Amino acid sequence: MKDSIVLITGASSGIGEACAKVFAKLEAKLILTARTQERLQPIAESLDCEYYLLPFDVRDRAAVDTAIESLPPEWSDIDLLINNAGLSRGLDKFHEADIQDWEEMIDTNIKGLLYMSRKVVPDMVRRGKGYIINIGSTAGHQTYPGGHVYCATKAAVKSITEGLKQDLLGTPIRVSLVDPGLVETNFSNVRFHGDTERAEKVYQGLVPLTPDDVAEVVLFCATRPPHVNLMDIVMMPVDQAPLMLFNRK
Ligand code: 8X3
């Protein structure tokens, strides 16, 4: 990975931040993106590697285009795009859910990932070099009560990943999906709009994955030989099994 240019969306916390750390250890050159520079700066300063900070909102298509176009030539040949930016909002029944929550999840998890990929992948194809790793979720494989739209966005990420792989067949570009289950980050806190007590309950009585666990798998994908394409890695804590509902109340 030394000197490879790795762009990570949502790099200011959780899985994105953990990815930055593991790729920095291998001396990759990191383009870290998130909505605000202030949250990226301290993370970047803790890394022992070259970095470039690119604050923008993946939900804003024009901002995505401008940000990528603004990269200086020495940073513009992106070797690995990690589409990590994503969130969940709400766990209410479908007929009681806040439509604004839906908009935010669809705009970030689906449209943001599409804008980023559509902007970055053509150049990878032109150069005959590149790799896209999307962060999905076990929620893309199973819908749980109150999960309707969040699960749908992650199912969309799975479909988009497969579609991209289909359409890149015949090129050396690789595409992978990493689907984590319960990972203890601020994910649930964001989902419950800052209700920390409720968020903590999600992980009570079990040992969840850590962001580092997921980042190690992303790194494993990225360090396979060039002819190996890991398509979809579903990972969960030992304390989780498919179709378990947990404390999602
Ligand atoms: C995160 C996993 O099960 O909390 O995407 O939705 S879950």
- Write the pLDDT tens digit of every residue in 28-72: 999 999 998 899 999 999 998 999 999 999 999 999 999 999 999
Q: How far is the CA of 150 from the centre of ligand 1 (A)?
A: 9
d(CA 129, CA 179): 24
Q: Return left, alpha or beta for 9; rule: phi > 0 is left, psi -120 to 50 is alpha, else beta.
A: beta
Domain ranges within the chain, ordered by starting residue: 5-246
* Nearest residue by C-alpha to atom 2 in ligand 1: 181
pLDDT at position 248: 55
Burial of 244 (0-12, 13-18, 19+ CB in 10 A): middle
pTM of the model: 0.94
pLDDT mean over 197-223: 93
Q: Which residues are marked as active site? A: 150
Each residue of 158-192: pLDDT tens digit?
999 999 999 999 999 999 999 999 998 888 888 88
Complex-level ipTM: 0.91
- For ligand 1, residues with CB inside 6 Å are 137-139, 181-182
Q: How far is the CA of 52 from the centre of ligand 1 (A)?
A: 30
**Sequential DSSP letters for 94-163:** GGG--HHHHHHHIIIIIIIHHHHHHHHHHHHHHHT--EEEEE--GGGT---TT-HHHHHHHHHHHHHHHH
Is the pLDDT at 200 greater than 60? The verdict is yes
* pLDDT the model gives residue 100: 97
Q: Which CATH number fits domain 5-246: 3.40.50.720, 3.20.20.120, 3.50.50.60, 3.40.50.1400?
A: 3.40.50.720
Q: Are 207 and 237 in contact (CB under 8 A)?
A: yes
- Given the structure tokens 């360090």, which residue do they identify? 223
Cα 138 to Cα 88: distance, rounded to the nearest angstrom: 13
Question: Cα separation of 39 and 30, whole Å?
Answer: 15
Cβ proximity of 59 and 116 under 8 Å: no
